Amino acid sequence: NAGVTQTPKFQVLKTGQSMTLQCAQDMNHEYMSWYRQDPGMGLRLIHYSVGAGITDQGEVPNGYNVSRSTTEDFPLRLLSAAPSQTSVYFCASSYEGRETQYFGPGTRLLVL
Amino acid sequence: SQQGEEDPQALSIQEGENATMNCSYKTSINNLQWYRQNSGRGLVHLILIRSNEREKHSGRLRVTLDTSKKSSSLLITASRAADTASYFCATGMDSSYKLIFGSGTRLLVRP
């Protein structure tokens, strides 16, 4: 099993550009989530999904969009990148939202 | 604001010593989990303790949970240089199917 995979590993964007961070898991988990990690702030929940076709907002959803068309994939879209979105983004999956999470390796995003 | 807050923010110990880090939280929980993050890597799950449990062990790890004080502690015994990492507590909420992370404790184990 590959577990949770994320692409790209690193990305540089200019302010106003859009992009999609990819996340996929092969563990047949219903629950998937996106977190951002900033220095000294721990992980903050952006969006999550409890199954295909169902998504909901976390603590810091503004500026991000998600969809869940399959169990395996949960992409995160930045609509118009801003410097405040410079962060490390982690995708995670689990069989249920408050149980053990399996994390991807992360995507480092720099917005200039 | 963060549900879980770790204390201390940073800890430096000698190899072979024990490391203790604490986590406090604010609202009712279903479970509390501890994760480790090596520099530049993703988080790895260490241990989960349910709200009706008081203590749990896994190898050199010991976790306690005191729901009356809304606090937990993680003890790493006989620490090794390889234990150098950031450690995060995360609370599985009683009221929703979310996991909320604290800001972490940075542990440095000196050889």
A7-63 pLDDT, tens per residue?
999 999 999 999 999 999 999 999 999 999 997 778 999 999 999 999 999 989 999
Task: Look at residue B3 and tell me whether its pLDDT is greater than 70.
Answer: no
| A54 and A68 Cβ atoms separated by less than 8 Å | yes
Average pLDDT over residues B11-39: 95
How sure is the predictor about B2, in pLDDT bands with cuts at 50, 70 and 90?
A: low
CA distances from A42 to A16, A95, B2, B52 (A): 26, 23, 9, 26
Q: What single DSSP character describes residue B85?
A: E
Measured between beta carbons, the chain A residues lying within 8 angstroms of B41 are: 105-106
Contact with chain A for residue B102, Cβ under 8 A: yes
CA distances from B73 to A26, B14, B51 (A): 33, 20, 14
Average pLDDT over residues A82-100: 93
Contact with chain A for residue B45, Cβ under 8 A: yes
- Record: contact B97-A98, CB cut-off 8 A: yes
Task: Look at residue B94 and tell me whether its pLDDT is greater than 90.
Answer: no
Average pLDDT over residues B21-34: 93
Write the DSSP assignment of B4-67 as a string of letters: -EEE-SEEEEETTS-EEEEEE--S-EEEEEEEEE-TTS-EEEEEEEETT-SEEEETTEEEEEET
Pairing of strands A76-78, A87-94: unpaired
pLDDT tens by residue, B44-87: 999 999 999 999 999 999 999 999 999 999 999 999 999 999 99
Average pLDDT over residues A78-92: 96
- Give the nearest partner residue to A90 out of B43, B96, B102, using CB atoms: B43
Q: How far is CA B67 from the centre of its chain?
A: 15
- Give the nearest partner residue to B104 out of A42, A44, A104, using CB atoms: A42
| pLDDT the model gives residue B1 | 45
| pLDDT the model gives residue A7 | 97
Mutate to test the interface with A, among B99, B100, B105, B106 (most CBs of A within 10 A): B99
Mutate to test the interface with A, among B97, B105, B106 (most CBs of A within 10 A): B97
| B53 φ/ψ angles, rounded to the nearest 5 degrees | -105, 155
Kindly calculate the radius of gyration of chain B based on its CA atoms and give it in whole angstroms.
Answer: 13
| pLDDT the model gives residue B40 | 81
Single-letter code of the amino acid located at A36: R
- Record: contact A99-B101, CB cut-off 8 A: no
Q: Give the rounded percent of residues in chain B with a pLDDT score beyond 70.
A: 97
Mutate to test the interface with B, among A43, A91, A93, A94 (most CBs of B within 10 A): A43
CA distances from A43 to A40, A76, B58, B102 (A): 9, 16, 24, 7
| pLDDT the model gives residue B97 | 73
| pLDDT the model gives residue A104 | 96
Q: What single DSSP character describes residue A30?
A: S
